Amino acid sequence: MVIALATCVAWIAVTVAFLCPKWLTPMEMIFLFFADTVFELGSFSVLHVNLQYIQVNPGVANSISNLTFRLIELPLLLVTTSNLLLNPAPILKWGGVISIVLFTVMVQQILVWMGVLSMHHWNVAWSGVIVCVAVLASRIMAGLIRSTSSHDAA
């Protein structure tokens, strides 16, 4: 059940990323995806291994669903938010970003309810803050990537 939910959520993330208007080139999006993956896994490792605020419960299904969330869904949605933040239309920009942040926090809470994650000294508000920081870091990285690629083209 948990793996089916993780797969469904990953497909939702792929669909949202496909339907979103693109302001980054494919190469910039690939590089940003990898940078977001490194950022997300680094921050999750600090919270999981070092601080032990978030624990992944034992089991193969729990590990697969957590890795699907961390390696596919979250970085893909961070790339999507970076594309949305580059959009000039303010309603699409902020409405899309807020929707994606709320969706990501909701999925993480569902993982807690289904027993995939255990959160000690942690709550939904902190998850929202971490996702907002990840969105900000992704947008900064997208800006750096775009400035670097525009200098190379000139």
Is 81 or 151 the better-scoring residue by pLDDT? Answer: 81
Identify the band that residue 121 occupies on the pLDDT scale cut at 50, 70 and 90: confident
Q: Give the tens place of pLDDT for each residue, 67-120.
A: 999 999 999 999 999 999 999 999 999 999 999 999 999 999 999 999 999 988
Give the model's confidence band at 153: pLDDT under 50 very low, under 70 low, under 90 confident, else very high: low
- Per-residue confidence at 151, pLDDT binned at 50, 70, 90? low
Burial 28-59 (b: 16+ CB within 10 A, else e): bbebbbebbbebbbeebeebbeeeeebebeee
Rounded to the nearest integer, the mean pLDDT of the chain is 91
CA distances in angstroms from 17 to 32, 60, 125, 129, listed in the order given: 13, 28, 25, 22
For the stretch 12-38, pLDDT in tens is 999 999 999 999 999 999 999 999 999
For the residues 135-149, what does the mean pLDDT come to? Answer: 92
For the segment 117-143, the average pLDDT, to the nearest whole number, is: 91
In sequence order, the β-bridge partners of residue 54 are 119
Q: Provide the angle, in degrees to the nearest 10, between the axes of the packed helices 124-153 and 90-113.
A: 130
Q: Where are the domains of the chain?
A: 2-11+25-149
How much is the pLDDT for 150? 66
Residue 60 banded pLDDT, cuts 50, 70, 90: very high
